[in-house]
Structure 1
Amino acid sequence: MISILSKSGGIAMLERSKWQKELVVFSRLVNTIVLTGNIYDQHPIVNEREQKIQGFCSLELYLARTCQSFGYQAILFYNPIDGFYAVPGLQQKTNVIELIEKIVSAASSEQQGNQGNINLSKRISTQGNTSILTECIEEAAHVVNLLLTRSDVSIAVIISFSSRMTARPDDLDMDERKTFMYLQEGAVNGRKNHSGDPDNPGFQSNMMIQNQLFLIADKINDLPAWYYLGHPSFKNINIPKPDYRMRNQIIIGYSTNFPGYSEATKEEKDLFSDVFVGSTEGFTTQDIARVFQIAKFSNLDIHGIDKAILLYKHGVQDNPWLKLDANKLSGAENQIKKRVLGQDVVIKAAVDIVKRAAMGMSGLQHSSASSKPRGILFLAGPTGTGKTELAKALTELIFLDERNMIRFDMSEYRQEQSDQRLLGAPPGYVGYEAGGQLTNAIREHPFSVLLFDEIEKAHPSVMDKFLQILEDGRITDGRGETVYFQDCLIIFTSNLGITVHSTDNPGVRIQNVSYETDKDYQSVHDKVLSGVRRYFNDELGRPELLNRIGNNILVFDYIREDSLKPIIAKQIKSIAGNLWADKHIRLMVSAQAMDDLFKLAVDDLPKGQGGRGIGNMMEEMIINPLARFMFDNSVMRDATVTVEHIFMDNGLSEIKAVIL
């Protein structure tokens, strides 16, 4: 037995789950109960009087024991593979196999000729257990009908795998329709019998209970809607996965024999429990038990339980967060500044967030910190200022390769059903088996940098999904499988705040921030930040999503004049490197030509196109005339070209160059 202790050292109130309490109540009120949800798990047997978990058992066995406690004298199981059978180890005075044969035989003798006869066959397992099979599921439903309406001893019939009894619940053939009609009619007209055992001194002869039918199904809509909708004697009880309280009770109970637990201090036990419970949101009881098994196989004690949880969630994988070099992180700010130019304030804040993520300290102020993503970045500001480039630089910092970034262009998710592309279509819809683009990517690469580019272009239904991801660090896809984001760095980029809706004409957007009017970074920062908040609070109506992002909104400045020369030099270096790699042509650019490019870039700045605009200018002013010059002079390979001067001639860009 498992005793449950509270963190304070006293006995915590241990009680059954909500669905277990509902089962007790509604079993006395309705004649058909369908149990759905977490039906394949092991469920705790809670003794509230003694405040102990006496063990765990399957849902079928839990129902059987519950029915016995109600006074049912016969408890019968059925599934399409094994037929009708009694649960081994469950003591019953009534032989349910003989009961079936007796009732079916009596019913068959009442039929005219062979019409309506049910063909039964016995099967004895290698363990000596006897079961009865019918020729089809429809005949099995007929047997259930006879048992419920004719049994003179109180009987509960439990049918497993009900979801497999029909291919399409909204398009039944005649045999499938008759199957559910038998079940419905049998439950409605079920016979009432005395409860308990007449040989038991505590038997109450005046206590009457109606024969009961239980169906165990994956989902309620696996059954035909007419079978349960508007049916006053029908109840669906959904079984959720263990909640935070129940997981805490299960984990502490299992921990008594766990290595290092009994020797640990109270503070160490509390930390162990907090990490374990917080990291196992969405876990079943069996999942929790397997984590303990993994920890024991891997020789991990209470201080390494987080490693066992990661191993169970993601399999055997390298965790790049644990391999981050402290010296590399210390110099990360200067290294990224060489790549993302003119954004020193943003880079410092971004590197701080990565350091916090590497230390596993994200969200420590919240009660469920261990389940949240490693880090969150919301990169806002003018276009072409390096937002995507910073995301790539951070990916390379963590994973040593910028290609390890998983990027989603949110302009592709504008439609209302776009959330199904990310998370997968629900059952019955096209693409259900394929899963979702986001969930599949995280399942394959649980340690990732996720980039959601131009997040404001996504449909609000997609935005809603981020609430759970940012808060709980997990989400369930259309197939019912849970994926975890606890080891992801999530980055959003946005151009919010650059334009706003006109107060005079709400349908028109006007410029809110510009290079010419906002000469300093503080002005850009304040206007963009205000625009982001206005969007989430007023336009989108999702202030809670803004709260999940918190103070991780980093605002980029416009590319200013003092950053132009390094940007131009960087792009020239890229052009020269590609020419050398592809054609073995060495490109040289004179100081005069560099100055020409600088002046052209300065003139281009007011357009507010940032680095992307500079790239377009470089294509027009040097790449195009250089390609023309090389083609006209037959410079195809193995040469040195020096660009001495860049100028405009009759609206066309020209270069003065020499070939060596």
Structure 2
Amino acid sequence: MTAEPTHRPQPGSLPGAPLFAQELAGTLAVHSQYVLYGNVRDVYLVPEPVRRSPDGMSPESMLEVLWRALRPSGYRCLVVSDQVDGITVYPRGDPDARAAAEQVLGRRMLDRKQTLERLRTCMARVVGNPPPPPIKADAVQEDPSADEVSTDGARVAFVIDYAARIPRSQTALEGEERDFFLFAQKLAVTAETRGGGPADRPSELFNPIIWLTEGERDLPAWLTVGMERVRTIAVPKPGLSDRLIAARYFAPVITRDHRPPLDGDPDIERFAKRTDDMTLHAVREIARLCADRGMPLAQIDDAIRIYKIGIDQNPWRQETVRQQIITGEARIPDQVLGQRAAITKAFDILKRAALGLSGAQASSSANRPRGVLFLAGPTGVGKTELAKQVATLLFGDPEAYLRFDMSEFSASHAADRLTGAPPGYVGYEAGGELTGAIRRRPFSVVLFDEFEKAHPQIFDKFLQILDDGRLTDGQGTTTYFSECMLIFTSNLGVFRTDPQTQEKIQLVHPGIAYDELERRVRAAIDEYFTTKLGRPELLNRFGDNIVVFDFIDAPTAGRILEGQLRNVIDRLAREQGITLDIGGLALTRLKEWCAAPRTLANGGRGIGSEVESRFINPLARYLFDANVRSGKVHVHDIDVDNGVATLVARHEP
């Protein structure tokens, strides 16, 4: 009777280890070099030899993960080289590992500064090739006869850490650097497998050279492209399941309790979900931050915010914000005139933001911006003014208001202004205007004026901000928008550009019912995002946060006129010592001009233009021509002849 074949674990298999380690350990028979890039500075979950944690996993360093992945296949040590510590042995302090490294490299190579010459020699000896000639003709070559070097097939791996720091520039290698990487490329081709390994699973494997770097293109592209012997492996950031395990592992640090947390603990689950796109190292540091400040696990949201932004006090939770919103709801309608419906809806969204309920119905809303407003409607009706008032209300400081005129971002390369140019381009060192400003003031109101005029490529940035609440700049630094109030303004639905004549055609006019105006504007916004832009997902991110402003009516125009005339009177009295009185037909005519349909179509700006051309210009002419330097001026009427306005006035010295 034939015995059932038993299943043999694959060489280098490490069940439960990170996938990148399993991929490396499982392909040692066909690849002589590996480039691990991405999240290579993190800690990683590996099975515990003796189960101590709730999940039987513990976080370990990259070197420990590599060592555990290679050791089952008979590898005796890792030789590690970087520009700080030089050439060392891992595991540190292990005499057997040290002996294996000395057997392959010789004593003289260990604990020495990293140079290109020594790197070449170490790589050749690890792989089993003859020592290479020196890079320079007059260089002193490392003498292999000075040490007893074994070629009996001892298995070791050579790890080159911080590999991106070896070349000064990846695109313009100097002579010695080019020769070094060319040697490394040839070594990948000429390397041969070695026998050995445990008695129960002997195999032919390479002694690998493992490059650790942050970016996939940090090394010369020709080193890996088209090279079958060189395998490139991405090291991703941890997923939700890994963060859940890490949160359970580090929870006792916060609670100062050695007992593991219960399964399904909502605080643990929130800890894992709200560290989306963060490393396990960050999860560990947040736990330490909680412990250092004596914060319970229930306050993990505050600890995450402090870790991300670095600010202890949260202005959103201050009682003054609540009071300011209540006060502002009564006061702002007197400053943004004629927009009662829009202001009411905008303040509903503000109240939701202050309570942290924006997007609360979604399971992944924690990292999204604190609040989002999309203000649409005619020009000059108070959209920008409302943004300024919101900034002052929330944070008591108009300086917390950032404005970006998106008409300045209509070119395809303009996105670099927001996030900074990528490495190698002009302006890389300066960073991004938006990301830099938010890092300086993480609690801000950010206004993106005339949103639809931005180049379509910029909308990708907005999608990331609205969905994830973060943006990575050209220097690789992540900026968080989770405590920002974002306000977008747009004139979509008010005008349409004729495709043939390029003439602007007004679609809605003063006097239209607000319900009809709102319907048309919303329909135009939907059509723009879905049909013209082809980005319905961006429209979905705005959701019901679209607030449509109404045209200014005649009574509101009269109130705006009164306010502007009052500003003129105050300025003249303060700076010129002249008292101004406006009455009679002059005031009546100004009200008629400001209530004209053409003026109302341009909102407050149209009224301001009428006041400037019909009143301020003739007033300045009158004061100059009559040499008025003090006293009182009575304005009775305004005559207009061939488009030129003239005051009918009287001066009392």
TM-score between both structures, scaled by the size of structure 2: 0.87
Distance 2:193 2:632 in 1: 100
Q: State the partner residue of 1:24.
A: 25
After superposition, the Cα gap between the structure-2 partners of 1:614 and 1:329, relative to the gap in structure 1 and judged at 3 Å, is: same
Q: Report deviation, 1:263.
A: 11
Structure 1 pair 585/646, CA: closer, same or farther in 2 (3 Å)? same
SS in 2 for 1:465: helix
**For 1:174-232, what per-residue CA distance to the aligned partner results, in whole angstroms no more than 9, with x for missing partners?**
21122112222223322322343xxxxx6247322221110011212111111100011
Where do residues 562-601 of structure 1 align in structure 2 (5 Å cutoff)? 562-590=555-583, 592-601=585-594
Following the alignment from structure 1 to structure 2, what is the Cα–Cα distance between the partners of residues 78 and 588?
84
Q: Output the amino acid matched with 2:618.
A: P
Mapping 1:218-237, distance limit 5 Å: 218-237=214-233
In 2, the alpha carbon distance for the partners of 1:266 and 1:61 equals: 29
How many residues align structurally?
612
Q: Is the 8 A contact 2:374 2:488 kept in 1?
A: yes
Question: Bigger CA drift: 538-547 or 65-74?
Answer: 65-74
Q: CA deviation at 1:611?
A: 0.9
Mapped to 2, the partners of 1:263 and 1:625 lie a distance apart of 83
Corresponding position of 1:546: 539
Preserved CA contact (<8 Å) 1:337 1:347:
yes
CA shift at 1:249, angstroms?
A: 1.8
Q: Could you say which residue in structure 2 is the equivalent of 1:148?
A: 127
User: Which residue pairs with 2:637 in the alignment?
Assistant: 645
1:417–1:658 Cα change, 3 Å: same
TM-superposed CA distance for 1:604, in Å, is: 5.0
Q: How does 1:22-421 map to 2 (within 5 A)?
A: 22-47=23-48, 52-87=55-90, 88-90=92-94, 92=96, 95-102=99-106, 131-133=111-113, 136-150=115-129, 151=151, 152-196=153-197, 203-204=199-200, 206-259=202-255, 269-270=265-266, 272-316=267-311, 318-323=313-318, 324-421=320-417
* Separation in structure 2 between the aligned mates of residue 265 and residue 38 of structure 1, nearest angstrom: 28
Shift of 1:469: 0.5
Whole-Å separation in 2 of the counterparts to 1:509 and 1:376? 32
Q: 1:276, 1:305 within 8 Å by CA — same for their partners in 2? A: yes
Deviations 1:16-48 (A, max 9, x none): 444343333334432111111111222222359
In the aligned structure 2, how far is the partner of 1:544 from the partner of 1:258?
39
- Contact 1:596-1:647 at 8 Å conserved across structures: no
Q: Is the 8 A contact 2:450 2:489 kept in 1?
A: yes
The gaps in structure 2 that reach 5 residues or longer are 1-14, 130-150
Q: 1:359/1:607 Cα in 2 relative to 1: closer, same or farther (>3 Å)? A: closer
Maintained 8 Å contact 2:388/2:401: yes
Alpha-carbon offset, residue 654 of structure 1: 1.9
- CA distance in 2 between counterparts of 1:60 and 1:374 reads 40
1:386-465 matches, cutoff 5 A: 386-465=382-461
How far does residue 71 in structure 1 lie from its aligned partner after superposition? 1.7
Q: Is the 8 A contact 1:138 1:178 kept in 2?
A: no
Using the alignment, how far apart are the partners of 1:587 and 1:267 within structure 2?
A: 76
Q: Comparing 639-648 with 388-397, which one deviates more in the overlay?
A: 639-648
Pairwise CA distance, 1:100: 4.6
Quick check: 1:528 aligned with 2:528?
no
Q: How far apart are the structure 2 equivalents of 1:45 and 1:267? A: 20
Distance 1:261 1:450 in 2: 43
CA apart distance, 1:91: 5.9
Distance (Å, rounded) in 1 between the aligned partners of 2:321 and 2:589:
42
**Aligned-partner SS, 1:287:** helix
- After alignment, is 531-540 or 287-296 more displaced? 287-296
Equivalence for 2:650: 658
- The more displaced of 484-493 and 313-322 is 313-322
User: 1:4 — aligned with what?
Assistant: none
Separation in 2 of the partners of 1:259 and 1:147?
A: 47
Three-state SS of the structure 1 residue aligned to 2:255 is coil
Q: Classify 1:577/1:191 alpha carbon distance in 2 versus 1 (closer, same or farther; 3 Å).
A: same
Query: What is the rounded CA distance, in whole Å, between the counterparts of 2:186 and 2:534 in structure 1?
Result: 49
2:379 aligns to what SS in structure 1?
coil
The CA distance in 2 between the partners of 1:513 and 1:405, in whole Å, is 32
Whole-angstrom CA distance in 1 between matches of 2:582 and 2:298:
59
User: Once the 2 structures are TM-superposed, how far is the Cα of residue 317 of structure 1 from its aligned partner?
Assistant: 5.2
Tell me which amino acid in the other structure corresponds to 2:533: L
2:248 and 2:261 in contact (8 A); partners too = no
Whether the aligned pair in 2 keeps the contact of 1:36 and 1:217 (CA below 8 Å) is: yes
Instruction: Provide the rounded CA distance (Å) in 1 between the counterparts of 2:574 and 2:85.
Output: 69
| Aligned counterparts, 1:627-638, within 5 A | 627-636=620-629
Q: Give the letter aligned to residue 513 of structure 1.
A: L
Deviations 1:584-607 (CA, angstroms, capped at 9, x unpaired): 433333264332211111225466
Q: CA deviation at 1:276?
A: 2.5
Per-residue CA deviation, residues 447-491 of structure 1 (Å, 9 max, x unaligned), is 000100111111111011111100111111111111101111111
Secondary structure (helix, strand or coil) at the match of 1:446 reads coil
d(CA) in 2 for partners of 1:372 and 1:501?
A: 35
Alignment of 1:442-521 (within 5 A): 442-500=438-496, 502=498, 505=499, 508=502, 511-515=505-509, 519-521=512-514
The amino acid that maps onto 2:295 is L
**Alpha-carbon distance in 2 for matches of 1:363, 1:145:** 58
Instruction: Provide the C-alpha distance between the structure 2 equivalents of 1:267 and 1:495, rounded to a whole number of angstroms.
Output: 51
1:267 to 1:177, Cα distance in 2 relative to 1, 3 A: closer
User: Aligned partners of 2:287 and 2:509: how far apart in 1?
Assistant: 58
**Change over 3 Å in CA distance of 1:146–1:328 after alignment to 2:** closer
Q: For residue 311 of structure 1, report the CA deviation from its aligned partner.
A: 1.6
Aligned to 1:107: none
1:564 deviates by 1.3
Aligned residues of 1:537 and 1:543 also touching (Cα < 8 A): yes
Q: CA RMSD in A?
A: 2.7
Alpha-carbon displacement from aligned partner over 1:557-588 (angstroms, at most 9, x marks no partner):
11111211111111112222333343343333
User: Aligned equivalents of 1:101 and 1:418: distance in 2?
Assistant: 53
Q: Which runs of 5+ in 1 are unaligned?
A: 1-13, 103-119, 123-129, 197-201
- Residue identity matched to 1:449: V
Residue aligning to 2:606? 613
Which letter does structure 2 place at the counterpart of 1:19? F
- Measured in 1, the distance between the counterparts of 2:102 and 2:458 equals 57
**Distance change >3 Å, CA 534–CA 91, structure 1 → 2:** farther
Which SS does the other structure have where 2:194 is aligned?
strand
Distance 1:506 1:165, change over 3 A: same
State the percentage of identical aligned residues: 34
Letter in 2 for 1:514: V
- The C-alpha deviation readout for 1:217-274, integer Å capped at 9, x for no partner, is 121211111110001121111112222222222112211342388999979931x234
Distance in 2, matches of 1:28 and 1:495, equals 63
Map of 1:7 onto structure 2: none
Give yes or no for contact 1:362–1:375 (8 Å, CA) kept in 2.
Answer: yes
Instruction: Render the CA deviation track for 1:154-173: whole Å, top value 9, x for unaligned.
Output: 22111111101111222222
